[in-house]
């Protein structure tokens, strides 16, 4: 019996070959040519956050903001989020004003709502929660349902549907 001339290459070999072909077809470009002014500040901010280096984070945030870097909002987020347990509502309002309508604004709002829940600061929670656009955090939703329940609303069905997918009336808190 004749052997097929074209056999299918093993998947790993095919991927490696395609990767090498793609790499060979790309023009070589030094990494520094693609770096934007202020990139170092963003990297430094992320590293300072990882190390919980407040002063380094503050300096890197200031450098990113001064450079007008497109990712400066993340350095701002890192710096504020790193000390979220200590901040007051006014600092958050200033952040929201700097980055209105952005993903990072809503991410910080999510973190702030969790902090307000831990603090049991229900007045500020009630103001902030309607502004939370993504509404993708179960713990935040649980706090909101607790406030609704305290206001006299029947939240049982919604609370059960908000819980874990395996939550049933026998395993959920009534």
Say if 29 falls within a structural domain.
no
Q: Which residue has the higher pLDDT, 134 or 157?
A: 134
Contact yes or no for 38/72 (Cβ under 8 A): yes
Say if 164 falls within a structural domain.
yes
Of 169, 116, 127, 126, which is closest to residue 151 (Cα–Cα)? 126
Q: Do 140 and 99 fall into the same domain?
A: yes
CA dist., res. 153 & res. 148, Å (int): 6
Number of domains the chain contains: 2
Q: Which residue has the higher pLDDT, 3 or 160?
A: 160
Spell out the residues 6+ positions from residue 73 whose beta carbon is closer than 8 angstroms to its own.
Answer: 98, 99, 102, 104
Q: Do 76 and 153 fall into the same domain?
A: no
* 51 CA to centre of own chain: 18
Q: Do 76 and 148 fall into the same domain?
A: no
Q: Do 61 and 111 fall into the same domain?
A: no
Query: For residue 158, what are its two tokens?
Result: 């919604």
Say if 168 falls within a structural domain.
yes
Residue 140 pLDDT greater than 80, yes or no: yes
CA dist., res. 132 & res. 114, Å (int): 12
Percent of the chain scoring above 70 in pLDDT: 72
Query: What is residue 138's predicted lDDT score, i.e. its pLDDT?
Result: 93
Q: Do 92 and 150 fall into the same domain?
A: yes
Residue 98 pLDDT greater than 60, yes or no: yes
Say if 74 falls within a structural domain.
yes
Residue 30 pLDDT greater than 50, yes or no: no
Query: For residue 30, what are its two tokens?
Result: 């030094």
Query: What is residue 45's predicted lDDT score, i.e. its pLDDT?
Result: 93
Query: For residue 9, what are its two tokens?
Result: 């290459």
Say if 77 falls within a structural domain.
yes
Q: Do 156 and 96 fall into the same domain?
A: yes
Residue 126 pLDDT greater than 90, yes or no: yes
Spell out the residues 6+ positions from residue 111 whose beta carbon is closer than 8 angstroms to its own.
Answer: 81, 84
* 67 CA to centre of own chain: 23
Residue 32 pLDDT greater than 70, yes or no: no
Say if 158 falls within a structural domain.
yes
Q: Do 79 and 43 fall into the same domain?
A: yes
Reported as a pLDDT band with limits 50, 70 and 90, residue 62 is very high
For the chain, what percentages of helix, strand and coil (3-state, to nearest 5) are there? 65, 0, 35
User: In the predicted model, what is the mean pLDDT of the chain?
Assistant: 80
Q: Do 94 and 129 fall into the same domain?
A: yes
Say if 9 falls within a structural domain.
no
Spell out the residues 6+ positions from residue 98 whose beta carbon is closer than 8 angstroms to its own.
Answer: 73, 76
Of 85, 148, 95, which is closest to residue 115 (Cα–Cα)? 85
CA dist., res. 15 & res. 120, Å (int): 54
Point out the domain boundary residue: 60, 83, 106. 83
Q: Which domain holds residue 138?
A: 88-174
Query: What is residue 19's predicted lDDT score, i.e. its pLDDT?
Result: 42
CB atoms within 10 A of CB 157: 8
Residue 153 pLDDT greater than 80, yes or no: yes
Residue 34 pLDDT greater than 90, yes or no: no
Q: Do 92 and 173 fall into the same domain?
A: yes
Query: What is residue 18's predicted lDDT score, i.e. its pLDDT?
Result: 43
């Amino acid at each position: 019996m004749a052997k097929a001339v074209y056999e299918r290459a093993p998947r790993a070999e095919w991927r490696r070959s395609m990767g090498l072909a793609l790499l060979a077809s790309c023009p070589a470009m030094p990494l520094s040519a693609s770096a934007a002014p202020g990139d170092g500040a963003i990297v430094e901010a992320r590293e300072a956050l990882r190390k919980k280096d407040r002063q380094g984070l503050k300096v890197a945030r200031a450098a990113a903001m001064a450079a007008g870097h497109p990712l400066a909002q993340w350095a701002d987020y890192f710096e504020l989020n790193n000390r979220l347990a200590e901040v007051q509502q006014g600092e958050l309002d200033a952040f929201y004003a700097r980055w209105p309508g952005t993903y990072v604004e809503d991410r910080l709002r999510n973190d702030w709502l969790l902090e307000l829940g831990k603090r049991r600061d229900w007045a500020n929670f009630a103001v902030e929660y309607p502004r939370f656009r993504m509404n993708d955090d179960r713990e935040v939703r649980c706090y909101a349902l607790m406030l609704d329940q305290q206001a006299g609303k029947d939240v049982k069905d919604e609370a059960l549907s908000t819980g874990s997918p395996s939550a049933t009336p026998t395993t959920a808190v009534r």
